[in-house]
């Protein structure tokens, strides 16, 4: 069975609903994972998604900030929403697809929005950066990572807010002191990835030696010409799904859509 999963930091789902509709009509993924929905559960535009055939919806939201959601053409066997660092800040939601979705073996999709970390890469003066580092540390012992390492069929996607590799940023040398690419973030990010045995699906299609971005700042006068991007958005699978990804597309052109997010969607197809 083919299962296509899209992930996108939408930077306000209600504000950018027109381009979300466009994505779903043009690319029609089976599952769409959104980050930074920026609305409460009650404010989420359920009707708009159901009109497009996405009847099954799991939301973890809060007023004005953060928020994650998963919308699907296929029914969920169960849903989950976890919190980290003793904060209720709506950064995770998960769904499990099972027999009702046509799968012989259950598959869980985790959708994360990891803290951005602010501007100053010093946890002693920047509480946001300290929170980010604590969040990454806590993920190392997260049940989803244990399940992944233990043989579960899992997909983890989202805005993970770390660009770990040299060619995940426009300039490795200049970005070493910029939040998202600092050595301490990369070290903790890598430790969390290794704890779950997570496989970097995107780099299975595009070699580490090639530039790969999913985010371009709003501050750039001409984002395409300067091309100072970062790969902040990720698609991972557990070892049980090694080799399951058959296609992966980074929809770079979405950065130029009307009233765009600063992130672009990634659409991945799996044989499950």
Smallest CA-to-CA distance from 2 within 244, 242, 251, 193 is with: 244
**Confidence at residue 104, expressed as pLDDT on a 0 to 100 scale:** 93
**Confidence at residue 181, expressed as pLDDT on a 0 to 100 scale:** 98
List the beta strands (DSSP E) in 114-225: 154-159, 199-200, 215-216
Q: Domains of the chain by range and CATH? A: 2-271 (3.60.10.10)
Residue 186 phi, psi (nearest 5)? -65, -40
pLDDT tens digits, 40-88: 999 999 999 999 999 999 999 999 999 999 999 999 999 999 999 999 9
pLDDT tens digits, 109-149: 999 999 999 999 999 999 999 999 999 999 999 999 999 99
**Confidence at residue 23, expressed as pLDDT on a 0 to 100 scale:** 98
Q: What's the rounded Cα separation, in Å, for the pair 141 and 145?
A: 7
pTM metric for this prediction:
0.98
pLDDT tens digits, 214-227: 999 999 999 999 99
pLDDT tens digits, 243-252: 999 999 999 9
Task: State the residue for tokens 């929905």.
Answer: 37
The average confidence (pLDDT) of the chain is: 97
For 192, residues 6+ apart whose C-beta sits below 8 A from its C-beta are 136, 137, 139, 140, 145
Smallest CA-to-CA distance from 155 within 88, 72, 231 is with: 72
Smallest CA-to-CA distance from 85 within 49, 135, 30 is with: 135
**Confidence at residue 57, expressed as pLDDT on a 0 to 100 scale:** 98
Beta bridge partners of 200: 236
pLDDT tens digits, 170-205: 999 999 999 999 999 999 999 999 999 999 999 999
């Amino acid at each position: 069975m083919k299962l296509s999963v899209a992930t996108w930091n939408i930077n306000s789902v209600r504000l950018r609903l027109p381009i979300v509709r466009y994505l779903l009509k043009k690319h029609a993924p089976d599952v769409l994972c959104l980050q930074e929905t920026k609305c409460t559960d009650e404010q989420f535009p359920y009707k708009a998604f159901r009109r497009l055939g996405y009847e099954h919806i799991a939301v973890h939201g809060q007023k004005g900030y953060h928020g994650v959601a998963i919308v699907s053409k296929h029914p969920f066997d169960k849903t989950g929403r976890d919190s980290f660092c003793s904060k209720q800040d709506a950064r995770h939601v998960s769904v499990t697809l099972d027999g009702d979705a046509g799968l012989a073996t259950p598959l869980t999709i985790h959708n994360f929005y990891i803290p951005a970390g602010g501007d100053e890469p010093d946890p002693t003066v920047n509480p946001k950066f300290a929170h980010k580092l604590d969040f990454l540390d806590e993920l190392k012992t997260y049940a989803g990572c244990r399940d992944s390492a233990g043989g579960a069929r899992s997909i983890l996607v989202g805005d993970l807010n770390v660009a770990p590799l040299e060619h995940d940023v426009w300039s490795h040398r200049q970005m070493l002191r910029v939040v998202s690419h600092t050595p301490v973030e990369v070290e903790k990010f890598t430790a969390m990835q290794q704890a779950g045995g997570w496989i970097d699906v995107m780099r299975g299609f595009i070699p580490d030696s090639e530039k790969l971005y999913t985010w371009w700042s709003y501050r750039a006068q001409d984002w395409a010409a300067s091309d100072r991007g970062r790969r902040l958005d990720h698609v991972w699978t557990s070892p049980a799904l090694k080799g399951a990804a058959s296609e992966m597309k980074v929809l770079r052109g979405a950065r130029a859509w009307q009233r765009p997010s600063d992130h672009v969607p990634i659409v991945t197809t799996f044989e499950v």
